[in-house]
Amino acid sequence: MISTLFDKEGHLTEDALEAFKKGYLDDESLILVSEHIANCERCASVLADSFDDNELAETPLGFEEEIQNKIRNRKQSSFQFGFYTFKVAAAACVALIIVFSNQLNFAANSKVQATCIKAPDLSITNSISTNLNNFSQKIINMEVYNNEKEKK
Ligand SMILES: [Zn+2]
C-alpha cells in the first residue's frame, strides 16, 4: 500500500507512479493518480519518461484504451452529469429490487423451514443478491465520490 501519493508540491511521488505502472493501486488511489496525470503535464511526462523500451513492450493491453476513454470522458463532461444521475438512479433501483427479493427469499426460507425441505438453490439466490448489493453500493460510492471531486 502506498502511504503518500502526492509530494509536498502536490505532484505524484515516484512510489505512486511506480505503483500506477505496475497496477498495484487500489480503486480510490487509481482514480486520484489518473486524474492527476490527465491534468498535469509535468507528471504525465515523468510517467512517459519512466518507461524504457522493455517496459513499453510489457505495457498491459487496454492501457491505451483506458487513456482514450479518459480523453473521451473529458469531452463528454457536460453529458456526464446526466449520466451520473441516471447511474445513481439505476443503482438505487437495483438496491430496491434486492431489498424486495431479500424479503421474498426470507418468506421462501421460512416456508422451507416449516416443511423441513432442503432447498440449496436459495443460498445461491442469496449470494447473488449480496453480490449485486455490494456492486450497486460500489457504483453509488464511486459516482458520488467522482461527482463531489469534480465540483471542487
Ligand atoms: Zn503533477
Please tell me whether residues 84 and 52 are part of one structural domain: no
Compute the distance from residue 100 Cα to the ligand 1 centre, in Å.
47
* Residues, CB-to-ion distance under 5 Å, ligand 1: 11, 40, 42-43
Please tell me whether residues 103 and 152 are part of one structural domain: yes
C-alpha cell belonging to residue 64: 491505451
Q: Which range in 18-32, 56-70, 98-112, 126-140 is most confidently predicted, on average pLDDT?
A: 18-32
Show the domain range for 130. 77-152
Please tell me whether residues 86 and 130 are part of one structural domain: yes
Please tell me whether residues 89 and 119 are part of one structural domain: yes
Compute the distance from residue 86 Cα to the ligand 1 centre, in Å.
32
Instruction: Specify whether the CB–CB gap between 17 and 50 falls below 8 A.
Output: yes
Compute the distance from residue 93 Cα to the ligand 1 centre, in Å.
39
Compute the distance from residue 107 Cα to the ligand 1 centre, in Å.
55
Please tell me whether residues 21 and 53 are part of one structural domain: yes
Q: Can you tell me the distance from the alpha carbon of 150 to that of 152, in angstroms, rounded to the nearest whole number?
A: 5
Sign (positive/negative) of CA torsion 17, 21, 70, 30? negative
pLDDT at residue 39 in the model = 92
Report the mean per-residue pLDDT for the chain: 73
Please tell me whether residues 17 and 65 are part of one structural domain: yes
pLDDT at residue 125 in the model = 63
Q: Of 57, 75, 93, which closes a domain?
A: 75
pLDDT at residue 40 in the model = 93
- Residue at grid coordinates 522493455: 54
Instruction: Specify whether the CB–CB gap between 106 and 125 falls below 8 A.
Output: no
pLDDT at residue 131 in the model = 72
Please tell me whether residues 67 and 96 are part of one structural domain: no
Compute the distance from residue 43 Cα to the ligand 1 centre, in Å.
4
Please tell me whether residues 126 and 71 are part of one structural domain: no
Give the pTM: 0.37
Q: Of 27, 42, 75, which closes a domain?
A: 75
Please tell me whether residues 97 and 70 are part of one structural domain: no
Sign (positive/negative) of CA torsion 74, 143, 38, 30? negative
- Residue at grid coordinates 498495484: 24
SS3 call for 12 = strand
Sign (positive/negative) of CA torsion 100, 106, 109, 115? negative
- Number of domains, the chain: 2
